[in-house]
Structure 1
Amino acid sequence: MSQLRLNRNISRLSLTIIAVGCFALLAPITAAAEELDNQMVRQELEMLKQRIADLERLLNQQQQPEKTVAAQASEQVIEEEEVSEVADFTEEGPPKEKGEVEITTAGSTLTVGGQIRLNTAYNNPAGSSNFGMSASGIPSLTAARGERGHLSAQAQDSRFWFKTHTPINGDALRTLIEIDFWGSAGNERVSNSHNIRLRHAYAEYAGFTIGQTNSTFMHSGTTPDLINDSTADVFVRQPLIRYSHPFDSGDFQVSFEQPETTLLDSTATQVVPDDDRLPDLAAKLTWRPSWGQVSVSGLLRQLRIDTGGAALGAVPAGVTDQAVGGALFASARINLWGADNLRLGYVYGNALGRYVSYNSFNDAAIDAAGNIHLQRAMAGFGAYQHWWDDNWHSSFVFTRSQVNNDITVVPATAFRYIQSYHANLLWAPLMNTSMGLEYIHATSKMENGEKAKLQRAKFSAVYKF
């Protein structure tokens, strides 16, 4: 509509110029008066030309093409991992997207949104998990002997979120509550019912975040763009108190987070003592230069057990022990030609445990006398993302996690490593809509040499509202 009005204004001004010129040629006046009129006409023509030039510049600015989807994706920081995806805030207020419901009352704004997602996976052979990628979910060659493929589908990743934005003293108090349907599962025979599960529940104000959300140790924007989980995901979501300080091209965060010790005993049983006294301490530095992003985070933890008057697994009663360990995580996204990019990450520590690979490896080992033994663990990934055009893109990814078990403490059935290869093709045909297909080949190995293998084809379709 604005372009049409500008075109009309230009046409009217052009007709005015023609009319003024004709009047100057036909006016039968004296030579002196004619010379004076000619000067006035020339001045008027110059003014009209300037106005036309100004209008043409404004029209050209409005007709500038918008950036392509791929170009926008290469410039923005995107939260790639499904497990780490959080509804983000902006400085001005909650982001307003297509389909969101907004209610404003008493100085606060409430927005409601969510997503509908369908996941379908074909696993060969069938394992204990249709969609997960932990070490125990990859079927061993012995257990899978004679097994055929298995097809499964679910909509549990569908979710709702509720955000509020309240201006206070020149700043804004923001809150987020997000739920999905990964609570206790129903059956696949009749109703496929699933209970609600809490994902995020926190408030932000003046740089502080208080509540439950993704750990500060995690990275976003540098992890692989996958449909399925990988075997090297760094992921924990838990209650925390975090302070964030932004600076040019980046930010720094530090947080106290919920502790939880997980130990592997001499029978390869996971022991969760629930005797923690100190919070986990996490800190992260993120830098976003023009060529990509770099993130470095650290973790410091106290692991503790106190069995009291009752035995816990293979750990006898009446023992108390503790140990202090930590981990470091570094990752980067490097922009290449077009919107293509390379993503690399490596994490290492002696108390990494539940923070990586969905607790496939425990924080430490514990012997029959109740002594905690820290053990080194590491994980890494390499990913190349290629954009075929503005709507189609693919990622090719390798991930691996492993632990140096103390075989004098843990049995030979403890897992030594897990790894996975991924290749996918994703399509975004409409706004807020995407779908894709991914192939995964995953393997694992125990200390006794027994191997496990899984091939999975996964389809996912999501509409965000």
Structure 2
Amino acid sequence: MRVLLGASALAAPQLAGAQTMKEADLAARLERMESEITQLRTELAAARSQQDETRAAAADATRKSQEASAQMSRLADGTPRLGFRSGNSNVVLSGYVKLLASSARYSGGDDPSNTLGRDLYLPQSIPVFNPASPTSPTHVTDFSAKQTRFWVDATTKLGKHALKAYIEFDFQAAPGTPQALGQGTQRTTNAYDLAMRRAFIQLDRWTFGQDFTNFSNPAIFPESTDYVGGVDGLIFVRQPMVRYSLPLGHGLTFHLAAENPETASATVGAPALVENGEDHAPDITGRLEYAGGFGFLDLAVLGRQLRVDNAKTGAAHIVDSRLGWGISAAGKIFLDDRHGSDIRFQASYGEGIGRYLGLNFGTDAVLQANGELARVRNLALFGAGRYALDDQWRVNLIASYQRISYADDLDPATTSGIAMFNRQAWSVAGNLFYSPVKNVDLGIEYRHGERRLVNDLNGHVDRFDVAAKYNF
């Protein structure tokens, strides 16, 4: 017994040591297993993250591919991203709301209230006076929102053809006075009729409808608080036409148009203009345009028939007609890469082109007592400079001039019947525009304009405008 107990006493430490070694070994194995599991989890998380990134990249690539396809489709259809869809057409509504406050001082009397000359600068409406017996100057102030404008632009893709429809309105172009039209007056509601300015359709290179005459490019019109700005020497006509535009390559495009004819004549002794409505042939205009990064240059020509049926006058010639012609050079040249600053110009000369210049400042021809039409020639010059001070401020300087010469047999030395006809008009203006936020323009402008008749009676106006406009 003692022997067994002694042997057990000797074996116990050895068993305890063996058990401790096994526990340590197991602990080491567990630690290694935990380390390997942690590493596996880390590798699994990395794999999953990489897989997620791959999926995200694939989804992003798919999205970009879809956007690119949609953009290519829009470009192919020729439909802008603005507006809304109506059938297979994209329709855009746009325009602006404008308030104009004007204060004018006339040297030779008053321009009657509710006339076009009170709403905008119109040289033929400047009152004239005799320097030998001057008239007291008058000062008038008017507020108006008539120049508010909006337009509808619709584009449609028809196979390989591009179709466009455009219509534009404002409240300034309505003819007559508010009283004549049954509208409100300045005393009460100041309501004014909506009037069509432009309305045309375009199919590829063809244009059908009413637009600015092809004899000029409206892109040269200056930035102004006024309805036109420097109208004295500008070609300014909107009328129905059929126009074809032919790209010639290298920035050249030729525009050819047949336009609505109308002879605006005056009779010896009566300077008031008359629309005869007896025209047989359309006015033909051609314009060659060269455009590039610098801007554009235009050379335009006009050919027309002037025709008056004077049967009611009892003259020997029942019907008389003569040829009218004109030539014009114009352009816009950018002064910086951002196209914020530029110069604009136009020079025109011709015979029988009175209604095309200065809102019909002069007559196309003069109907004489013998029933014949006497020639009238016009020289018109216009120039404007626009300088952008920064993204919000810009300055515009504008100068405009027109001179009318009549046939020798209508010289006032021998014929007193044209003494009251317009001879000359000119104006200079300067303005400052500020855009506090996008789409909002605030402007102030000063203009001095003069008008002179054949008999040297003259008058001038000093006009100060303040305008606010929101473009949408």
TM-score, normalization by structure 1: 0.75
Matched letter for residue 189 of structure 2: S
Q: CA deviation at 1:108?
A: 1.8
1:136 and 2:124 equivalent?
A: yes
Q: Distance in 2 between matches of 1:168 and 1:227?
A: 40
Q: Cα deviation per residue 1:54-108 (whole Å; 9 max; x = unaligned)?
A: x9xxxxxxxxxxxxxxxxxxxxxxxxxxxxxxxxxx99646555xxxx3323312
Report the Cα distance in structure 2 between the residues aligned to 1:91 and 1:250, rounded to whole angstroms.
24
1:175 alignment partner in structure 2: 165
Q: 1:140 to 1:171 in 2, by over 3 A?
A: same
Deviates more, 1:426-435 or 1:271-280: 426-435
User: Is contact 1:222-1:293 (8 Å) kept?
Assistant: no
Tell me the alpha carbon deviations over residues 366-424 of structure 1, each in whole angstroms, 9 at most, x when there is no partner.
Answer: 21111012221010012222111111111112110110023346521111100001100
Q: How many residues align?
A: 372
Structure 1 letter corresponding to 2:384: A
| Alignment CA distance shift 1:144-1:109 (3 Å) | farther
Distance 1:423 1:144, change over 3 A: farther
Deviation track 1:104-136 (CA, whole Å, cap 9, x = no partner) reads 233122222221111111010242421333332
Whole-Å separation in 2 of the counterparts to 1:243 and 1:91:
23
1:289 matches 2:289:
no
Given the superposition, is the C-alpha separation of residues 91 and 449 from structure 1 closer, same or farther in structure 2, using an over 3 Å criterion? farther
Tell me the alpha carbon deviations over residues 305-331 of structure 1, each in whole angstroms, 9 at most, x when there is no partner.
1133x23xxx84862111112101101
Cα deviation code 1:337-371 (max 9, x no counterpart)? 56432222200001211001000101111211110
Question: Whole-Å Cα distance in 1 between the matches of residues 275 and 387 of structure 2?
Answer: 42
Instruction: Name the structure 1 match of 2:324.
Output: 325
| 1:181-215 per-position Cα deviation (integer Å, ceiling 9, x unaligned) | 13253410000010111111110002100011111
Q: 1:304 aligns with which of 271, 296, 307?
A: 307
Cα distance in 1 between the residues matched to 2:79 and 2:438: 19
- The one-letter amino acid of 1:444's match is R
Q: Secondary structure at the match of 2:433?
A: strand
Partner secondary structure for residue 119 of structure 2: coil
SS at match of 1:221: helix
Q: Shift in Å at residue 292 of structure 1?
A: 2.7
- When Rg is computed on C-alpha atoms for both structures, the one with the higher figure is 2
Counterpart residue number, 1:376: 377
Instruction: Call closer, same or farther: CA 1:191–1:316 in 2, change over 3 Å.
Output: farther
- 1:341·1:386 contact (CA, 8 Å) conserved in 2? yes
Say which is worse superposed, 404-413 or 257-266, in terms of deviation. 404-413
Unaligned runs of 5+ in 2: 1-56, 58-74
Aligned to 2:452: 445
The 3-state SS of whatever aligns with 1:359 is coil
> Do the aligned partners of residues 277 and 439 (structure 1) sit closer, same or farther apart at CA in structure 2, a change above 3 Å counting?
same
Instruction: Return the match for 1:216 from 208, 214, 217.
Output: 214
Q: Give the counterpart of 2:258 among 256, 259, 271.
A: 256
CA contact (8 A) 2:441 2:468 kept: yes
Query: CA 1:326–1:209 in structure 2 vs 1: closer, same or farther (change >3 Å)?
Result: same
RMSD of aligned C-alpha atoms?
A: 2.5
Residue number in structure 2 paired with 1:392 = 393
Could you tell me which amino acid in structure 1 is paired with residue 105 of structure 2?
N
Change (3 A) 1:398 1:422: same
Q: What secondary structure does 1:130 align onto?
A: helix
Secondary structure of residue in 2 paired with 1:113: strand
Match of 2:111 in 1: 127
Q: Is the contact between residue 244 and residue 256 of structure 2 (CA under 8 Å) also seen in structure 1? A: yes
Mapping of residues 46-57 of structure 1, within 5 Å: none
Please name the residue that 1:239 is paired with.
240
Task: Please state how far the C-alpha of 1:256 moved relative to its aligned partner.
Answer: 0.3
Shift of 1:144: 7.8
3-state SS of 1:375 partner: strand
Q: Which has the higher helix share?
A: 2
CA offset digits 1:226-264 (Å, max 9, x no partner): 322321121100000001123342422110000000112
Aligned to 2:225: 227
1:330-345 alignment, distance < 5 Å: 330-336=329-335, 339-345=340-346
Aligned residue in 1 for 2:9: none
In structure 2, how many angstroms separate the alpha carbons of the residues matched to 1:440 and 1:171?
A: 46
Question: Percent identity between the aligned chains?
Answer: 25
Give, as a single letter, the amino acid of the residue that structure 1 aligns with 2:88: G
Give the whole-Å Cα distance in 2 for the aligned partners of 1:288 and 1:220: 14
Partner AA of 1:146 in structure 2:
S
Q: Which moved more, 1:408-417 or 1:335-344?
A: 335-344
Partners of 1:259 and 1:457 in 2: CA distance: 36
Measured at CA, do residues 382 and 92 of structure 1 come closer, stay the same or move farther in structure 2, by a change above 3 Å?
farther
User: Could you tell me the TM-score, scaled by structure 2's length?
Assistant: 0.74
Q: CA deviation at 1:169?
A: 2.1
Q: Indicate yes or no: 2:203 matched with 1:205.
A: yes
Q: Return closer, same or farther for 1:332/1:318 CA change in 2, 3 Å cut-off.
A: closer
Identify the residue that residue 52 of structure 1 maps to in structure 2: none
* Moved beyond 6 Å, runs of 4+: none
Amino acid in structure 2 at the alignment position of 1:232: G
Structure 2 distance, partners of 1:340, 1:107, is 39
Q: Which runs of 5+ in 1 are unaligned?
A: 1-54, 56-89
Alignment partner, residue 7 of structure 2: none
1:166 is aligned with what amino acid?
Answer: T
Cα contact 2:212–2:218 (8 A) shared by 1 = no
Q: Deviations over 1:130-169 (max 9, x none)?
A: 1333332112245982243111011111122222211112
Name the amino acid aligned to 1:120. A
